[in-house]
Structure 1
Amino acid sequence: MQRSRGWITGWNAVRLAVAVLILAAVIAQFSSTVGEALTQGRHVPTVVANFFSFFTILSNVSSAVVLLVLGVRFFARGRRLEVDPRGLATALAFVSTYMIVTGVVYNLLLRGLPLQPETVGWSNEVMHVWGPLFLLLDVVLGPLRRRLPWSAAFAAAIFPIVWIVYTLVRAPLITNPTTGAPYWYPYPFLDPNTGGWGSVAVYIVIIAVAIIALAFGVVALGRARGAAPR
């Protein structure tokens, strides 16, 4: 489906606005988290490292960066109607997958958990609901898509696998700065002290399969809607 230059221009302007909103949400939550750590006398370096160990934070920051690059590139190049370069198109497919997974996992597994005192309400909703929803819309409506090879869907699983390995190796080595427990896991479904390693393994397999399946969906939509480079 062909889009007018005005529509494409407007979509890229929205991309820039959403990127700024996501970054504002991350910064607001970071400031609140560090502020609470200082007030409670917690070990701030550990708190900061933990903050950037959440998949939610990593997916939101990376998606904001990709959206910013897309928007700035479009306007800096005189609003040319050309497909995204392969590297940028691949990065967009990856972060779209990660953000959709973030939204699904949070709203299915974590929505009912009590929020921490330092949680910023609007920031939490932006990172877990509105940001993921926009990236989903971008998959469906975003202009100037490039057709990516199917191998990109498998490559999308590399980062989550590395993150899971990092999390499971690091967690037992960290003292929880809030509770004093001799471990820190970013999400309860990854904590073997709660449900055992069997439960953790099941969740890891389910999430890995979901990521690959969603990545295939993202690539498939891009191939159906996109264009090959000239």
Structure 2
Amino acid sequence: MRRLAIATRVLIAITVIVAIVGQLSLSLSNWRDAGIDNPVVQVVNFFSFFTIESNVLTVVVALLGAWFLLRGDRDDRGWYLGLRAAAVTYMATTGIVYNLLLRGIELPQGTTLGWSNEILHVVAPAYLILDWLFAPGRRPREWKAVWPILIFPLVWGIYTLIRGPITFDAVTGKSYWYPYPFLNPNTSPEGYLSVSFYIVLIAAVIGLVGLGVVWVSKRPLPAISRG
């Protein structure tokens, strides 16, 4: 099981990197075609998607986990388990939110690369959930461990709402930019009221998923995972 966990963690890290680079390359091409010669702001926009940031964290967690197992080190150290639990929570939430609210909606990153989109929103979230359920190294987390998990989404939400109205979108020519339609008060039916509703909803989903991740950590690992 240890060797399988190492191999799959390295494989998912490589797959996610390829998916991110593939989408970024296509977006860069689209921006060049749109006459944007210096796409620095657009690249920052690209890495401002919660999906992209969660997948970058997935790469870090997967490679660290593979390294620990390869060296024979203990990978149940507190800081790493906290990072791993956060990644599982964010990616599971990404999968839920995307497939319920955003599938079929074109996002402001240029043309979406189909296979990359599926890896980042379906394959990687599903893998991290399975890794949390079955891979060796998991140990029980305290219920209070869910609070640190909520810090990054809170910071990201504040960052997004502050940056959105002061970021010029060279692609559309609009004086604002938001990564997701439901966070854009300019197009939401009730403006900031609608945005507030979705923020509370997503915060609740992240909190519930985080509690689920902690609950799973308290369950015994399957016998096959202990080998």
If the length of structure 2 is used for normalisation, what is the TM-score?
0.91
Instruction: State the distance in 2 between where 1:91 and 1:53 align.
Output: 19
How do residues 118-133 of structure 1 correspond to structure 2 at under 5 angstroms? 118-133=111-126
Between the aligned partners of 2:215 and 2:57, the Cα distance in structure 1 is: 22
Could you tell me which amino acid in structure 2 is paired with residue 60 of structure 1?
N
**1:54-77 CA deviation, whole Å, 9 max, x = no partner?**
000000011111111100121123
What is the number of equivalent residue pairs in this alignment?
A: 217
What secondary structure, in the 3-state scheme, does the structure 2 residue paired with 1:157 have? helix
Tell me whether 1:98 sits opposite 2:97 in the alignment.
no
Distance in 2 separating the partners of 1:139 and 1:17: 16
Equivalent-residue separation in structure 2 for 1:92 and 1:23 (angstroms) = 18
| Deviation for aligned residue 1:12 | 2.3
Query: Unpaired segments of 5 or more residues in structure 1?
Result: 1-6
Output the CA distance in 2 between the equivalents of 1:104 and 1:213: 12
Contact 2:68–2:75 (Cα < 8 Å) also in 1:
no
Q: Deviations over 1:182-216 (max 9, x none)?
A: 10000000001112111100100010011111111
The percent of aligned pairs where both chains have the same amino acid is 42
Question: Counterparts in 2 of 1:1-230, with a 5 A limit?
Answer: 7-42=1-36, 43-77=38-72, 82=74, 84-114=76-106, 118-195=111-188, 196-225=191-220
What are the superposed Cα offsets for residues 126-185 of structure 1, whole Å, 9 maximum, x if unpaired? 001101111111222222202222111121110000000000000000111211111000
Once the 2 structures are TM-superposed, how far is the Cα of residue 83 of structure 1 from its aligned partner? 5.0
Task: Look up the equivalent residue of 1:16 and give its one-letter code.
Answer: V
Alignment partners' CA distance in 2, 1:146 and 1:66: 16
One-letter amino acid of the counterpart of residue 27, structure 1: V
State the secondary structure of the residue aligned to 2:186: helix
Deviation, structure 1 residue 31: 1.4
TM-score (norm 1): 0.90
Question: How far, CA to CA, are the matches of 2:17 and 2:138 in structure 1?
Answer: 24
Moved more, 37-46 or 124-133: 37-46
After alignment, is 19-28 or 162-171 more displaced? 19-28
Structure 2 unmatched runs, 5+: 222-227
